[in-house]
């Protein structure tokens, strides 16, 4: 029997409920609202939030490719085939782009959801020459546009949501926007264009969530109690070189 994969995950917990003493998870389904853009200044909890999500993706037997430009927080994964660091992160982008071609051509099945997780996208772009920047932005735009129907999803973090980091129109393909900590006016405007006025500075690990078709919600990223176990679970998923040929 064909395995059905889970694509609904907790992205955090409701801050409103939390302030009343309840823990209510905020769920997203990649199939209905594909791709997450996560923006927060340095130290406001991007990588931490990624680990919270990555663990769930890993536990659901997802195919994960992790691109870690800074290469500080995922040292436990450094020898994994699906982990790319420093200037090698473009290879992760390339591998997912090629997998997408294979899925389009019907060479491999689309059953196993695939996640391209990119920590510090803008930092990576800034480190590469202009010409390659355009090429990488174009690659990303294709995955954002075509990935959805092929079970390929993107999770991207940046310190600021500047439009120069995307090909024109590519940003509109993110079904989920998450902003944490103290967002610049510019970031707030890009992530939450209809609600910019209500956005306030938040502490680390807290902020706002916009899921397409739903009202803006205040969100809190919960504490990860067992970080070393979380790292191990993520590591195990990144060791898998299965390319979705189920």
Ligand X SMILES: Nc1ncnc2c1ncn2[C@@H]1O[C@H](COP(=O)(O)OP(=O)(O)O)[C@@H](O)[C@H]1O
**46, 137, 171, 235: which one binds ligand X (CB under 6 A):** 46
Length of the chain: 246
Q: How far is the CB of 56 from Mg ion (least distance, A)?
A: 18
The strand pairing partners of 8, in sequence order, are 29
Q: Is 122 in the site for ligand X (CB under 6 A)?
A: no
Q: How far is the CB of 17 from ligand X (least distance, A)?
A: 16
Determine the Cα–Cα distance for residues 202 and 237; give it in Å rounded to an integer: 32
E strands within the chain? 8-14, 25-29, 36-39, 63-68, 83-85, 114-119, 152-158, 176-180, 206-211, 217-220
> 108, 111, 109, 77: which is closest to 92 by C-alpha?
77
Determine the Cα–Cα distance for residues 69 and 123; give it in Å rounded to an integer: 7
Between 46 and 85, CB nearer to ligand X: 46
Contacts of the segment 128-131: beta carbons below 8 A, 24+ positions apart: 128/87, 128/90
**Looking at beta carbons, which residue is closest to ligand X?**
205
Count other C-beta atoms under 10 Å from residue 190's C-beta.
23
Query: Where do contacts with Mg ion occur on this chain (CB under 5 A)?
Result: 46-47
Between 34 and 45, CB nearer to ligand X: 45
* Binding at 44: pick from Mg ion, ligand X, none (beta carbon under 5-8 Å per type): ligand X
Q: Is 204 in the site for ligand X (CB under 6 A)?
A: yes
Between 95 and 176, CB nearer to ligand X: 176
Q: Is 48 in the site for ligand X (CB under 6 A)?
A: yes
Using DSSP's 3-state secondary structure scheme, residue 37 falls into: strand
Q: Is 137 in the site for ligand X (CB under 6 A)?
A: no
Q: Which two tokens stand for residue 26?
A: 């905020």
Q: Which two tokens stand for residue 130?
A: 């202009």
Q: How far is the CB of 86 from ligand X (least distance, A)?
A: 16
Q: How far is the CB of 36 from Mg ion (least distance, A)?
A: 15
Between 54 and 152, CB nearer to ligand X: 54
* Binding at 204: pick from ligand X, Mg ion, none (beta carbon under 5-8 Å per type): ligand X
**Site residues (vs ligand X, CB under 6 A):** 40, 42-48, 73, 204-205, 221, 223
């Amino acid at each position: 029997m064909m395995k059905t994969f889970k694509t609904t995950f907790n992205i955090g917990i409701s801050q409103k409920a939390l302030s009343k003493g309840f823990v209510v998870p905020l769920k997203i389904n990649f199939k209905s609202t594909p791709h997450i853009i996560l923006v927060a200044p340095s130290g406001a909890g991007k990588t931490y939030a990624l680990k919270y999500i990555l663990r769930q993706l890993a536990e659901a037997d997802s195919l994960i490719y992790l691109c870690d430009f800074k290469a500080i927080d995922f040292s436990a994964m450094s020898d994994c085939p699906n982990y790319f660091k420093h200037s090698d992160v473009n290879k992760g982008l390339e591998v997912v782009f090629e997998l997408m071609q294979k899925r389009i051509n019907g060479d491999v099945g689309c059953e196993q959801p695939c996640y391209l997780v990119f920590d510090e996208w803008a930092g990576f772009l800034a480190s590469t020459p202009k010409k390659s920047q355009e090429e990488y932005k174009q690659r990303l735009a294709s995955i954002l546009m075509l990935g959805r129907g092929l079970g390929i999803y993107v999770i991207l973090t940046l310190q600021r949501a500047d439009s120069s980091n995307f090909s024109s129109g590519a940003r509109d393909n993110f079904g989920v926007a998450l902003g944490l900590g103290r967002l610049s006016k510019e970031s707030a405007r890009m992530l939450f264009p209809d609600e910019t006025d209500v956005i306030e500075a938040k502490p680390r690990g807290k902020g706002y969530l916009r899921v397409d078709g739903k009202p803006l919600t205040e969100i809190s990223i919960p504490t990860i109690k067992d970080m070393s176990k979380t790292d191990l679970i993520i590591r195990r998923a990144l060791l898998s070189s299965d390319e979705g040929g189920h």
